[in-house]
Amino acid sequence: MTQNTTSDAPRSSRLVTLVGGLGIFMFAVGILIGAVNMFGPRTDLSRGVPSIVLIEPQTGDTVSSPLMLRFTAGNELALGGMGWASNDLHLHAYVDGREIMPAAADIQDVGDGTFVWTLPADSGPRAIQLRWAGLDHRDLDVGASRIVEVVVQPENEAP
């Protein structure tokens, strides 16, 4: 009794071609990402980065949801193509490390360079920080507010 066997050579050749093609694709993606980082939009920091000051709430406060963040941006802040922005910078909020970007209606200019950002938050302890991001949408290490730790009450309880 004879048994027909097929050669594994064509199969291994296809595997090598597939792995090689995948490697070339990954290399090309890496080059593209590097080029975007190298030649993509740059934020002009020559004018300095304004400091964001979170006025309210303060660390230790018990607050209700939605959160009402009262802050100053240290510079003119206006609604534009990048959202709420100052020159080449725009705002991000972090609640427990989760990034939140404001919709147009989320921030109100209340005068004297002060703004109120309304955002939802689940009940419990929360860490909040406001940060600038540049044209490349990366957060900057400078100009951020201090981290404020608050307790958000459940909706049916008043603080």
Q: Could you read off the pLDDT of 134-146 as tens digits, one per residue?
A: 888 888 889 999 9
State what percent of residues in the chain have pLDDT above 70.
79
Q: Determine the average pLDDT of the residues in 94-123.
A: 94
The structure's pTM equals 0.69
Alpha carbons within 13 A on the beta-carbon side of 26: 6
Q: Determine the average pLDDT of the residues in 108-113.
A: 93
Alpha carbons within 13 A on the beta-carbon side of 109: 12
Write down the residue that tokens 């400091």 correspond to.
Answer: 51
* Residue 16, pLDDT score: 75
| pLDDT at residue 33 is higher than 90 | no
* Contact by Cβ (8 Å): 127, 82: no
| DSSP-based three-state secondary structure for 130 | strand
* Residue 147, pLDDT score: 98
| pLDDT at residue 56 is higher than 80 | yes
pLDDT tier for residue 123 given thresholds of 50, 70 and 90:
very high
| pLDDT at residue 151 is higher than 90 | yes
pLDDT tier for residue 14 given thresholds of 50, 70 and 90:
confident
Average pLDDT, the chain: 84
State what percent of residues in the chain have pLDDT above 90.
50
Pairing mode, strands 148-152 and 62-63: parallel
| pLDDT at residue 125 is higher than 80 | yes
| DSSP-based three-state secondary structure for 120 | coil
Give the burial class of 74: count Cβ atoms within 10 A of its Cβ; 0-12 exposed, 13-18 middle, 19 or more buried.
Answer: middle
